[in-house]
Chains A and B, each alone.
Chain A
Amino acid sequence: MTPSRPFLPALLAGLLGACGDPGPSLEIAGQRTASRPSGNVLRDATPSQRFSASAPSASSTPSDDVIAYDLPEGWRAVAPTRERLVNLRPAGHPEAECYLSFLPGDGGGLVQNVNRWRAQLGAPELDAAAVAALPTHALLGRQAALVEAEGTFTGMGGSSARAGFQLLGLAVSEPEGSLFLKFTGPAELVTAERERFLAFAGSLRLSAGHGTEGEVHGPGDGHDHGPGAAQTEPVADSAPSGLRWTTPAGWRRGPARSMREVTFLFEGGGECYVTRLMGTAGGLRGNLDRWSEQMGQGRLADAAFETLPRVDVLGTPVPVLAVEGSFTGMDGRTLSDQGLLGVAVIRDSDSLFVKFTGPAALVQAERENFLAFLTSLEEP
């Protein structure tokens, strides 16, 4: 694949390395055959689509539509990403960031998160009593702890230390979900924009049709977390990759998630999603076995695998796995009376997985819709 580098040319290159300007025009000498394409090509993608994680496509609603807010004067909204439901650039300053993120569960707890933020600016840790005594401010109907710290900001990865930075943050940590609104930037700017930040935090609200203001929801709690309302009749829709489908009546599209083309959420805790992975990603049998094991049913017997019903997905007849049992998630929690429907379209270049999990009754009830959804899938 990669042309091997002969020893002698490498030796000469080394000896002549000091004077090796290849000039203003150069033939591309390197060529190789890769087993799959490098990255997803989106023809004529906009810079926003190319450089932002979850840039909205023409047919998908951006996260900003889920959560409404009053944009402070002089602040700019930038494309939301996988982690940032709302993503702003305070006062348009290139080094300032303000974003809202949501995590299912308590996200490690309030004390840990407050101290994580403080550590990013080199501030000393606070004990539980000090965290409990922090002032609070309204955030999506909750009273959030107001965290302030100043110092040298090292960010999430501990890289690019920036002196003279300040952090203003609001954090809510509850078992059903955690909300974090974080504003960082040069200290002078953050101080100057403090009132605008607090006003912005107070203005955050769920858009009409996305739950009752003041409720914090998480996956599996039966609430709608996504930008789409439930469809009353089948509707054509698509993902930024160009994948198209018809959303069955009653299905509700959820927000963009890491690694997923699309997620649908259901009352009662069910979800259906489409994932695309590069390569064969474990193969057909391996993935169906893994799903069966997740439901506590062990690997499929050869005879059971051979007799699975098939459905045409993206021009390929693929077996449909339907299994019921106790679902054990990655967090080790087990849910009983669960159902799973899944198909895997395995190709050399990339593979597509469609998986529906939830209470067994829900999964059974949605089986026909699931099959209709599968057959409606199309690629550009």
Chain B
Amino acid sequence: MRALLERGLAVLGSYGLACLLLLDLFLLTFFGTLHQVEAGLYDAQKLYFESWWVVQREPIPLVLPGGLLCMGLLAVNLFVGGFVRIQKSKRTVGILVVHVGIALLLASGFVKLYHSDDGYLRLREGQASDEYVSYHLWEVAVWDASQRGPVTEHVIPHEHLVDLTDGKARTFWKAGLPFELELSGFLRNCEALPKGPMWQADSPVVGDFALKRLEDDPENENNVAGLTARFRALDGGATKEDLLWGFEFHPATFDAGGKTWAVSLRKARYPMPFTIRLEDFRKEDHPGLSMARSYESDVTKLVGGLERPIRIQMNEPLRDGGLVLFQSSFAMDRDGTEVSVFSVVRNPSDHWPLYACIVIGLGLVIAFLPKLFKFIRAQGPRRAATGVS
């Protein structure tokens, strides 16, 4: 048993496994890049780098460990080979430190994958917001429509919606909610249209409208999702079928328990620990062109009754409260009001790669500096023997 365990550890910590995993990473990067050209960045990332297995049919039929499995095994390989089985002596201190740095790098990727959000904040001049919106993820929000001011929302996340395809339905409930909500028929990209005789609806027809499936857009943020919703009051009373669409102007409503409830399919929203108000947006064009040379936003950060003026410009983001707000683009509403768009990233491991690089650099110095000194020392007698001064 012990021999088997040792044999297993030997394989897990071997250079051979490390080489195979690095080859897998190379293939994932190569085929992932090819896939990205056709399917877009989001799909390629999900399929090749955030998956356990990759089953690829084109351009070459292939089954590969996905990025998640590969990185996980690489972490195990590093731990077993670089910490457990490595000969521990003064000579290997530097190598151990390098391995700590690589482990930190892998950990930062893992934390980013499971513990970070990104999205955007779009503000008209004079407008303020304390939340940002996901580029890619959808959510269904349910709230009592009579609430004014702060609103308590019940939120069904993206991962509980996207698998509701091919006739699959899921019923959502919550203690205190006087109705059940059955969701089905998730469409990744669709349009709500008046139903005509010339096209096949991809959802039930509700009040002359239905959802029509559209081809997926490789730029995933352009896709507009849709769902079919069925409401059932828990008192055995009313039922209602309705459509939810990511571009809807008003949420669906359902009367139950003496209240009107609103249900909306929307891009996932994330709160910020402060409010940002756009005071002024400025853009400077290249001479003679309508191409922006630089643009910047004067914003006010409001938190706890305090106001702080801040300028956000290209390459000078606002870092606060675990968030980074980058000036990413701008627009102009039809009424001529300038609109500034910020990319917002919340990544607890934002700086870990920097720390990892420092640790790796330190490890390399510890590992190789003695060798350099030894080499220099060896050069002295050799030069003396050959008469070179």
Residue interface mask B121-151, A partner, CB < 8 A = 1 = 0001111111100000001011101011111
Contacts of A27 in B (CB 8 A): 172-175
B381 interfacial by beta-carbon distance below 8 Å = no
Write the nearest CB–CB distance from A360 to chain B, whole angstroms. Answer: 21
Binding-face segment, B26-34, B264-272, B323-331, B352-360: B264-272
B68 interfacial by beta-carbon distance below 8 Å = yes
Contacts of B175 in A (CB 8 A): 27
Of residues 19 through 77 on chain A, the ones whose CB sits less than 8 Å from some CB of chain B are 20-28, 30-53, 55, 76
Contact of A22 among B126, B131, B147, B170 (CB under 8 A): B170
Number of residues of chain A lying within 8 A (CB) of chain B: 75
Number of residues of chain B lying within 8 A (CB) of chain A: 85
A232 interfacial by beta-carbon distance below 8 Å = no
Closest residue of chain A to B280, judged by CB?
A290
Inter-subunit contact A50/B198 (CB<8 Å): no
Write the nearest CB–CB distance from A240 to chain B, whole angstroms. Answer: 9
B163 interfacial by beta-carbon distance below 8 Å = yes
Interface residues of B (CB under 8 A from A): 52, 68, 110-111, 113-115, 124-131, 139, 141-143, 145, 147-157, 159-160, 163, 169-175, 177, 192-194, 196-199, 206-209, 212, 214-215, 217, 219, 222, 243, 245, 247-253, 260, 262, 264, 266, 269-271, 275, 277, 279, 332-338
23 contacts between A and B (CB under 8 A): A1-B271, A14-B114, A17-B68, A27-B175, A35-B275, A37-B151, A39-B249, A45-B253, A50-B251, A51-B243, A92-B197, A92-B198, A94-B199, A159-B217, A259-B334, A278-B127, A279-B129, A282-B126, A282-B127, A286-B126, A329-B336, A330-B336, A349-B151
Q: A35-B130, A41-B250 are in contact. Are A10 and B198 (CB under 8 A)?
A: no
Q: When A and B form their complex, what is the total count of cross-chain residue pairs whose Cβ atoms lie within 8 Å?
A: 223
Considering the chains assembled together, what is the distance between the CA atoms of A55 and B248 in angstroms? Answer: 12
Considering the chains assembled together, what is the distance between the CA atoms of A259 and B338 in angstroms? Answer: 13
Closest residue of chain B to A45, judged by CB?
B250
Considering the chains assembled together, what is the distance between the CA atoms of A10 and B163 in angstroms? Answer: 19
Q: Identify the interface centre among B207, B332, B338: most chain A CB within 10 Å of its CB.
A: B207
Of residues 108 through 165 on chain A, the ones whose CB sits less than 8 Å from some CB of chain B are 157, 159-160
A281 interfacial by beta-carbon distance below 8 Å = yes
A258 interfacial by beta-carbon distance below 8 Å = yes
Contact of A160 among B177, B207, B214 (CB under 8 A): B214
Write the nearest CB–CB distance from B49 to chain A, whole angstroms. Answer: 13
Interface residues of A (CB under 8 A from B): 1-2, 5, 7, 10-11, 13-14, 17-18, 20-28, 30-53, 55, 76, 78-79, 82, 89, 91-94, 157, 159-160, 257-260, 277-282, 286-287, 290, 329-331, 347-349
Closest residue of chain A to B140, judged by CB?
A28
Considering the chains assembled together, what is the distance between the CA atoms of A39 and B262 in angstroms? Answer: 9
Question: Other CB < 8 Å A-B pairs besides A41-B253, A82-B334, 12 of them?
Answer: A11-B114, A17-B52, A36-B151, A39-B250, A47-B206, A48-B208, A50-B252, A92-B196, A93-B196, A93-B198, A94-B198, A260-B335
Inter-subunit contact B196/A26 (CB<8 Å): no
Inter-subunit contact A26/B172 (CB<8 Å): yes
Inter-subunit contact B209/A37 (CB<8 Å): no
Closest residue of chain B to A277, judged by CB?
B127
Inter-subunit contact A33/B207 (CB<8 Å): no
Inter-subunit contact A36/B253 (CB<8 Å): no
Inter-subunit contact B264/A38 (CB<8 Å): yes
Inter-subunit contact B151/A33 (CB<8 Å): yes
Contacts of B152 in A (CB 8 A): 31-33
Write the nearest CB–CB distance from B237 to chain A, whole angstroms. Answer: 16
Closest residue of chain A to B253, judged by CB?
A43
Q: A2-B271, A13-B114 are in contact. Are A259 and B126 (CB under 8 A)?
A: no
Contact of A30 among B114, B155, B177, B215 (CB under 8 A): B155
Q: A35-B150, A92-B197 are in contact. Are A331 and B157 (CB under 8 A)?
A: no
Considering the chains assembled together, what is the distance between the CA atoms of A43 and B129 in angstroms? Answer: 25
Inter-subunit contact B333/A259 (CB<8 Å): yes
Inter-subunit contact A51/B247 (CB<8 Å): yes
